[in-house]
Structure 1
Amino acid sequence: MADKTEKQDLAWRAIGGLAGLVTAWAARKAIGFAWEKTTGKKPPADNESLDIGLGEAIGYAVVMGVGMQVAQILVARTARRRYDAWKALRDAAREVTA
């Protein structure tokens, strides 16, 4: 049977995974919107297409990569802090009622 710490780790993995998916979706939408407002063009749908200039394809890839990573770091750290605070509060409540 799984012990308590293993269950908590599973809970964090589920929360972290869900936060990562939502963050990736939201960051992609936000970066695409910012790209369109900044350049006046839609984001490249296919960076391998020869219809898109090399500079534009590389620029979009760099902006998207950095933006996505920064967003995921910020959300993961915030989610972890909140999860740890919730876990500490829960454990303190269990000690009081025990």
Structure 2
Amino acid sequence: MGTLAAKLLTAGAAVLAGIVAKKTTDTTWKFVTGSASPENPDDPDIDIKEAVAFAVLSGVIVGLARMVANRQATRLVAKGSGRSPQRVANATND
């Protein structure tokens, strides 16, 4: 698998991770607080504690989702190309 294909696969995985992270964040927020997630945490009408809590939750979930997606995409590309995952990761980061 070429470098371009690897980069496209990694980009696609990142987009998918973002979609999954958004859904997971909204579902988790609803489960924990009982209310819908804030539409705009920057809105001054939203309590600062709620905005900070939402930012922390969404940051953690987005970070985890991106890491898992990138690792899986790298493994998939490595398996398809016969190269080591480390070589694939280095090539897609260039």
Structure index of larger Rg: 1
- When the two chains are superposed, the root-mean-square deviation of aligned CA atoms in Å is 1.5
Q: Provide the residue aligned with 1:85 in structure 2.
A: 79
State the partner residue of 2:25.
31
Instruction: Give the gaps of 5 or more residues in structure 2.
Output: 84-94
Aligned counterpart, 1:22: 16
Identity of aligned residues (%): 25
- Output the amino acid matched with 1:62: V
1:51 CA displacement? 2.2
Task: After the TM superposition, list the runs of 4 or more consecutive aligned residues in structure 1 that deviate by more than 2 angstroms.
Answer: none
Q: How many residues align?
A: 83
Give the letter aligned to residue 61 of structure 1. Answer: A
- The Cα shift of 1:50 comes to 2.4
TM-score (ref. length: structure 2): 0.81
Unaligned runs of 5+ in 1: 1-6, 90-98
Partner SS, residue 36 of structure 2: coil
**What is the letter of the counterpart of residue 71 of structure 1?**
A
